[in-house]
Amino acid sequence: MRFFQKNTPLFARLGYFISFIILFILAVIAVEFFVGNGDGIWFDYDLRLIGFRIVAWAVGLVSLYVGIRQSPPTVQNILLSLASVFFVIYGVETVVGWIHDAGQKSSPTSGPQYAGPAYDSSYAFDEFLGRKPIPSHNFKWVKTMNGKPVIDIVMHVDSLSRRITPFADSTTAKRDKYALFFGCSFTYGDAVNDNETMPYYFQKDNVGYQAYNYGFFGYSPRHMLARLQHQDLTKQIAQKQGFAVYTYIEDHVNRAIPSAGWIGMYDGYFPDVVESTMQTDGVYRFVHPLKYRFGMMVFKSKVRQHFAMDFPFAYRPKDYELTANLIKKSQEEYKKQFKNDRFYVVIYPDAVKKDSPMIGLLKARGINVIDYRNLFPFPSKKYQLQHDGHPNPEAHRLLMEQLTKELKTKGVI
């Protein structure tokens, strides 16, 4: 009671201030209701959010002041240090935010303005994968330039959330072997038709095989491992003999860590992994709510956006180790299900940094690596889509042509 009696004048002033802010915001909202559309947003400013922030800042500053004033010297020093660090970070973030936003507004818009595709309408929630292609769904992938469609295709997905790989002809050839393809949008075939993906071109050139596309936008080794640990793929595939391929690009390290940028881009909807056992267990944003919120805070930071940074700033040895361990565990899960060791990692052309240790780490773990870094230049105009950063059909065809030759040489097919 003595604490409140001692600070009664201060709390009274705080109460007056909060009451004034609430009444003022309500008055402005009332004006907006009659002259605007009544949604509480005026000139792109959310009035309710502004009011809440002002009140929160007032309560926070008063609490900090009282805490410092009433605390012993040691606690005062700690609080002052923490407050100083906070205000420096907040100040830098605010100033850089002004600079960044001003630069965005003043940047020229004479170049092509792209929009789409609407990825949100392509996936559904999954308790282990986080996101998966909507089962039995046709997703219309459209990208526009200056308001006009420049890529307009339909992606067909089967009941098991796999992109459908159509047969090249209507022949009734006996396809008694399987070819499983794991990976990200490169495998899934972002911005290309069903008959222009990597699995399609492999199946077209190898009539005894049926290809299954387990890739998807933004997938990583985490997703491959989660599929193999929580689904019995042998029940999804008619054939008993075959092989599996995982297509690796260097950006998969970002997704395996995961980096703050990737937490933000995928909103934390990806498999969580217990690193000590390499067991996938639930969805990251729900298993690690504090890490998820911190990652989102970093992702939304104006400093990160302005300087195009990510956290961590560079791949560390342990990041490569984790990625390699995820792929190794996936190989073991594949072998456990399919009773063979025909599991291959394809290194995508030009996708690995010159100093990347990934190939050595994979080979040291006994994984079959097919190194196509020098197969063709990527990214390049010849092998990249004109209006998108992903590989074009010719890149997919050439890679599968070479894979067929490689596997025939090894006696796999």
126 phi/psi in degrees, rounded to 5:
-135, 135
Burial class, 100, CB count within 10 angstroms (exposed 0-12 / middle 13-18 / buried 19+) = middle
pLDDT, tens digit (0-9, with 9 covering 90-100), for 144-191: 998 899 999 999 999 999 999 999 765 667 899 999 999 999 999 999
- Spell out the per-residue pLDDT of the chain, length 413, in tens: 565 566 677 777 777 777 887 888 888 888 877 777 767 777 777 878 888 888 888 888 877 777 777 788 888 888 888 888 888 888 888 888 888 877 777 665 567 888 889 999 999 999 999 999 999 999 999 999 988 999 999 999 999 999 999 997 656 678 999 999 999 999 999 999 999 999 999 999 999 999 999 999 999 999 999 999 999 999 999 999 999 999 999 999 999 999 999 999 999 999 999 999 999 999 999 999 999 999 999 999 998 888 888 989 889 999 999 999 999 999 999 999 999 999 999 999 976 677 789 999 999 999 999 999 999 999 899 999 999 999 999 999 999 999 999 999 999 99
pLDDT score at 45: 75
pLDDT score at 299: 93
| Alpha-carbon Rg for the chain in angstroms | 27
Residue 304 CB contacts under 8 Å (≥ 6 apart), including other chains: 260, 261, 298, 310, 311
Take residue 333 and report the two structure tokens written for it: 């899960």
Please tell me the distance from the alpha carbon of residue 240 to that of residue 177, in angstroms, as a whole number. 7
Enumerate helices (H) and strands (E) in the chain, giving the number of each.
15, 14
pLDDT score at 351: 64
222 phi/psi in degrees, rounded to 5:
-60, -45
Take residue 106 and report the two structure tokens written for it: 């003043």
Q: Residue 138 pairs with which residues in a beta bridge?
A: 156
pLDDT score at 30: 82
pLDDT score at 64: 77
Q: Residue 45 pairs with which residues in a beta bridge?
A: 42
pTM of this structure: 0.85
Residue 345 CB contacts under 8 Å (≥ 6 apart), including other chains: 245, 246, 247, 248, 327, 362, 367, 368, 369, 370
Please tell me the distance from the alpha carbon of residue 80 to that of residue 68, in angstroms, as a whole number. 7
pLDDT score at 5: 62
Tell me, what amino acid is at 68? I
